[in-house]
Amino acid sequence: MKTTYRAMQVTRPGVLELVERATPTPGPGQVLITVEACGVCGADAADIDKADPTLQPPRVPGHEVVGHIVALGSGVPALWRLGQRIGVGRLGGYCGECVQCRQGHFQLCLDQPVVGNSCDGGYAEMMLVRSTGLVAIPDELRSEEAAPILCAGIATFNALKKCGAQAGDTVVILGIGGLGHMALQYARRMGFRVVAIGRGSDIAADALALGAHVYIDNREEDAVARLKGMGGVQAIVAMIDHADTVAALLAGLAPEGRLVVLNPGKGPLQVPAALLVGGQRSILGSITGTPYDNEKTLNFSVLADVRPRIEVLPLEQATEALRRLRSGDVKYRMVLTTGRTHQTTEQK
């Protein structure tokens, strides 16, 4: 094993620097992984901009990580083996002791690191991880494909499972970007009638190709009138952070319909109480999920042939990847790679 590894660290808020670090030794309950691929997410940009300038060593961002286990700390369950290909999402491993863990709500653990924010992430060649945060990666997926599923995939897959719709019901996907392009694929394969709502006609063809039955350009059409003309919709899954747009679309929900919010946004969501009470409508927030949830998402992606649309850059071009992410010049997820590769079952 090498004595050092390369990492992109936040030297000061908003600025990444490529450095060499000493290879760490995993502590109790930890594993050391060599990173093959790490997705670039909008949350990474926020982590980088808000990084603590006094932190030493500086934080390494990135939370859509796929790699192989190269060292095991004491107490790691036999489930995890040297050489095994694994993933790590936003949640860095539950403690197993807090009140939420004792109730089985591992995604709500009160003592769980947030990967790339409160612990180092995957913009690096190596990474330490709590074993409780590990996710087994199906052999059918390339590492570059699997990485975005660990965040964008599980977030949208879980939100659709919680949305209250049944096969044949109409579901709206609001926002056709890094999250929305995954949601469209999952929703179509779950048997929903899928309505995509976006801004502009330029993404209509992509939305329909990804799984939408109907595309509504919210700049040119009265989306609420269109949804009411369909008889209302059972669910709206919102990826965007524009609270006014989300709130306005609530009027398109059918009685007992449900809004599922994925993006916390920056402003309050103004909701008329009468709209909720009168039709027994509801609003639900959805977080990513547990490692087990992540494995279900990956396995469904293999089963239903769902894949993220990705662009790949080498680790040392992380700053360029973030620049393109911020400018919206990505279709639809950016992935950093370290030069290591994995052969899928189809390639062997």
- CATH number for 155-285: choose from 3.40.50.970, 3.40.50.720, 3.40.640.10, 3.40.50.460: 3.40.50.720
Q: Are strands 134-136 and 85-88 parallel, antiparallel or unpaired?
A: antiparallel
Q: Between vectors from CA 84 to CA 80 and to CA 88, what angle results, nearest 5°?
A: 75
pLDDT at site 275? 85
Domain coordinates in residue numbering, the chain: 4-136+309-337, 155-285
pLDDT at site 41? 93
Strand runs labelled E in the chain: 4-12, 15-22, 30-40, 65-72, 85-88, 126-130, 134-136, 170-174, 193-198, 214-217, 233-238, 253-261, 282-285, 310-314, 333-337
Q: Please, what CATH class does the domain formed by 4-136+309-337 belong to? A: alpha beta
Neighbours of 197 (CB within 10 A): 27
pLDDT at site 345? 54
Tell me the average confidence (pLDDT) per consecutive run of 10 residues in the chain, 348 residues long: 94 94 97 98 92 92 97 97 97 96 95 96 97 97 97 96 96 95 98 95 94 94 94 95 90 95 84 88 92 97 97 96 90 90 56
pLDDT at site 330? 87
Helices within the chain (DSSP H only): 42-49, 99-102, 143-148, 154-162, 180-189, 204-210, 223-229, 243-249, 273-279, 291-304, 318-327
